[in-house]
């Protein structure tokens, strides 16, 4: 049980993340790979440092608020919700990266299978 679960009892977990194209159609494996690579570059270069800094700031504020003004439950709850939102954004980006990695493996496996002679392919 995390502090967020303690501070926000009864708040349901978010729905699983599914990635689609901007027009709502499912992404092809090639699109997933490209999107995953872009997400990883953005995450590594820009987003991870920013997310880590913001998380540390909110955690510090949450700890300070809980220690100095424990009766201010509204403020504490708002800080906890803000941290949950940051984590949710981070999870969306991680899902995009991992979806790309998984699609890359699927494409590599499809190429391996395509290279197998037809007579042997039926045994797969």
Q: What is the pLDDT of residue 2?
A: 55
Q: What is the pLDDT of residue 23?
A: 85
The full DSSP string for 87-113 is HHHHHHHHHHHHHHHHHHHHHHHHHHH
Segment 4-37, tens digit of pLDDT: 555 555 555 656 667 777 888 888 889 989 999 9
Segment 62-86, tens digit of pLDDT: 889 888 988 888 888 888 899 999 9
Residue ranges per structural domain of the chain: 28-121
Q: What is the pLDDT of residue 15?
A: 64
Contacts of 104 (CB under 8 A, 6+ apart): 29, 33, 36
């Amino acid at each position: 049980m995390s502090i967020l679960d303690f501070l926000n009892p009864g708040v349901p977990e978010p729905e699983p993340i599914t990635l689609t194209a901007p027009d709502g159609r499912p992404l092809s494996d090639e699109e997933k790979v490209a999107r995953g690579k872009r997400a990883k570059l953005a995450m590594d270069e820009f987003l991870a440092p920013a997310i880590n800094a913001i998380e540390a700031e909110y955690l510090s504020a949450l700890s300070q608020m809980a220690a100095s003004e424990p009766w201010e439950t509204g403020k504490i709850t708002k800080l906890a919700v803000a941290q949950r939102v940051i984590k949710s954004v981070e999870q969306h980006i991680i899902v995009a990266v991992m979806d790309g990695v998984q699609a890359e493996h699927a494409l590599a496996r499809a190429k391996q299978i395509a290279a197998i002679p037809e007579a042997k392919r039926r045994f797969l």
